[in-house]
C-alpha cells in the first residue's frame, strides 16, 4: 500500500512544487496516511485544504483501503 500511495503523491507533487511546496510520505498504517508538508506548503494558510480536499481525496479515490490523511510536523 505504501508504494501505491507514493505513486499517487508522485502525480500530485508537480502541482505542489509549482507553488514552492512539497510533500513527504511518512507512514501508512491501518488506512491512515501520514504526510509532512514542506516548503511553502508547510506554512501556507491553505495547507489544510490542500491536505484534505486535494491529497486525501486523490488517495481515497485511487488507493483502496485509505481512509484518512493526517499531517505530521
- CATH fold group of domain 2-71: GMP Synthetase; Chain A, domain 3 (3.30.300)
Enumerate the domain spans of the chain: 2-71
pTM, two decimals, is 0.90
Rounded to 5 degrees, φ, ψ at 67 are -110, -30
Residue 40 to residue 29: CA distance in whole angstroms: 26
Residue 18 to residue 10: CA distance in whole angstroms: 13
Comparing CA positions, the residue from 58, 24, 16 lying closest to residue 40 is: 16
Q: Are 32 and 70 in contact (CB under 8 A)?
A: yes
**pLDDT tens, position by position, for the chain (73 residues)?**
999 999 999 999 999 999 899 999 999 999 999 999 998 888 878 888 888 889 999 999 999 999 999 999 8
Amino acid at each position: 500500500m505504501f508504494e501505491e500511495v507514493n505513486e499517487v503523491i508522485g502525480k500530485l507533487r508537480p502541482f505542489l512544487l509549482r507553488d514552492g511546496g512539497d510533500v513527504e510520505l511518512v507512514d501508512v498504517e491501518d488506512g491512515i496516511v501520514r504526510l509532512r508538508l514542506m516548503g511553502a506548503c508547510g506554512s501556507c494558510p491553505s495547507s489544510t485544504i490542500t491536505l484534505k480536499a486535494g491529497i486525501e481525496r486523490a488517495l481515497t479515490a485511487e488507493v483502496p483501503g485509505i481512509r484518512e490523511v493526517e499531517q505530521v510536523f
